Amino acid sequence: MILSDKRILEEIEKGTIIIEPFKAECLGTNSYDVHLGKYLATYKDRILDAKAHNKIEHFEIPKDGYVLQPGTLYLGVTLEYTETHAHVPFLEGKSSTGRLGIDIHATAGKGDVGFCNTWTLEISCAQPVRIYAGMPIGQLIYFIVEGEIETMYNSKDNAKYSNKTTKPVESMMWKNKF
Ligand SMILES: Nc1ccn([C@H]2C[C@H](O)[C@@H](COP(=O)(O)OP(=O)(O)OP(=O)(O)O)O2)c(=O)n1
């Protein structure tokens, strides 16, 4: 089950969901709209290696926007810092971004109970498109979780994306043993 607008507000009042900054007008019927933060990043190397620590370069989106090009993976970040202590948060695109040919995640939409951070966006586009810091970019939806949680995401030793940041974070796949 997905939380309704009223239930999201109740959870915010209880402190089990935190969204900063929070604006009432961003609350949808059963979602909350999130916005593009000012930093983007691209990988330094063209060929990525799933076993290696692939380094990224951050840059700021200029005031008059930045044109994304097809064939490049851009890492973005939500303006919003979120904490979700009792539900499973999912990051989804918005129809209006999708209709511009913008994907905001390559494969990872699911968050974990206990995740406390900004969200890294895995951005690609179908054709060149100018994007702007602060534009609506996606939406968070909240699922009710069944059963007790033994290990919250932020308390896991191996929670790779739990260091608080306002910038996009590169893949930490290199920390996995395989
Ligand atoms: N587009 C996304 C998707 C997820 N996350 C955050 C929320 C998740 O709680 C956290 C971890 O996501 P995954 O479990 O999908 O990632 P991994 O399994 O690779 O990492 P870990 O081993 O830390 O669980 O990353 C994010 O910032 N941006």
Give pLDDT tens digits along the chain (178 positions).
999 999 999 999 999 999 999 999 999 999 999 999 999 999 999 999 999 999 999 999 999 999 999 999 999 999 999 999 999 999 999 999 999 999 999 987 999 999 999 999 999 999 999 999 999 999 999 999 999 999 999 988 889 999 999 999 999 999 998 9
Q: How far is CA 83 from CA 11, 36, 72, 104, 119, in A?
A: 11, 17, 30, 20, 11
Measured in Å, how far apart are the chain's first and last C-alpha atoms?
Answer: 35
In contact, 68 and 123? CB cutoff 8 Å? yes
CA distance 69 to 48: 18
CA of 161 to the centre of ligand 1 (A): 6
Q: Per the confidence metrics, is the pTM higher than 0.90?
A: yes
Q: Which member of 11, 80, 122, 170 is catalytic?
A: 122
β-partners of residue 25 are none
Domains of the chain from N-terminus onward: 5-45+54-142 (2.70.40.10)
Q: For ligand 1, which residues put their CB under 6 angstroms from it?
A: 91, 105, 108, 110-112, 115, 119-120, 122, 153, 158-161
**Annotated catalytic residue 122:** yes
- Quick one: which atom of ligand 1 is closest to the CA of 121? 1
